[in-house]
Structure 1
């Protein structure tokens, strides 16, 4: 039987403001990318999500970002490598405190937003992220886009790597994500997202924006928690995968 991990970005709130329906999404996904306070999240939110994830048996991942609360981590930034490495380690360490308090551990690291896209091609920034992960824990898996500089650097430094795909994002013919600022970058039709999820999990491929068939070998599938109807869509994806003989299980 084919298997795949389902991950979602969680804890993306701040103070009294909440963006993601963490409780209901944790009943669907197998891995939780928890915001670590730089693009969203705060100490109380991180603690609450870690406790909920531990109760649900969901693997906790640190979603690290550029320091950009106002821009939700989606604005391009130039951060010196040494500073970025320290900030990545800082975010992982903060989340680890709450994960341990909940009786769990941080199981992997995933960059967010602009940082995620930057380390697909930027060798220097990718190296800085990997240095930060190694500062925090030299055995932590790194989750990222297939073929990215981030995963190549992580492998070269002895870190486990996990490939990821997105059913609700448009792809280029090169297997990279279409930038959010371009038309059609986000797939909004729920049935299309469900169908693409199965295509990625079972066939290891996706139809690019151009119509070309692109190979995307992924061990984990991201379900964005900040989209309208995210919980119901996540349920539909999981139900379709299970009905089609694809087992949903965490990679870490």
Structure 2
């Protein structure tokens, strides 16, 4: 099936690498005009260049998701360039691992600002433009399996992702009550080969290219905890996001799409 999101305009935050890039490329392949936003301007430009070279439609905007003014500016730019917004993928996020006794308040607040405040601001400022289109839309908030179960050294991260989970359900109910046709769902990735693991493992900054330690550690984690026995890749998450962005999921809202190889079964 081709053209599953043909004619739609989709905004993907944190789209310069990892899951965000996978979502941008997949939605573009299926006909969406994709707006990629990030702080990594060079990498964001590379994503757009690759999408356009493959025959897709995309552009890039510099975007700090923790800034309300930045959200106002990004939405205004999308309205000026494309005249509409149909899909928001709130994907931007960071992961900081530390004992709750050792994590600094600054790190806790920075992680919350990106992972949770950024989702709130995205929803707040995107819904009015989606509503202007008068044909409904889809908001996909990127949570995690860490939003479903606790982890000893990821208390701060779990707090943000658990917050995204229930925030999503509440906004889904608000949109349903408004009868605006906007569906709001969360996606919960498991062990996925992305750069965020470098920051979680303390081996690099978010967005860095794969480091030698990452695949080894992820493979070990996968062997120990994932029933299917294999780790996931950005395209596995992107396929789920594509379904939620498409009209195929027209009757789905407030749901949790878990894509984790069975990690959370037990």
Compute the TM-score of the two structures, normalised by the length of structure 1.
Answer: 0.42
> Which protein is richer in helix relative to its size?
2
What TM-score, normalized by structure 2, do the two folds share? 0.41
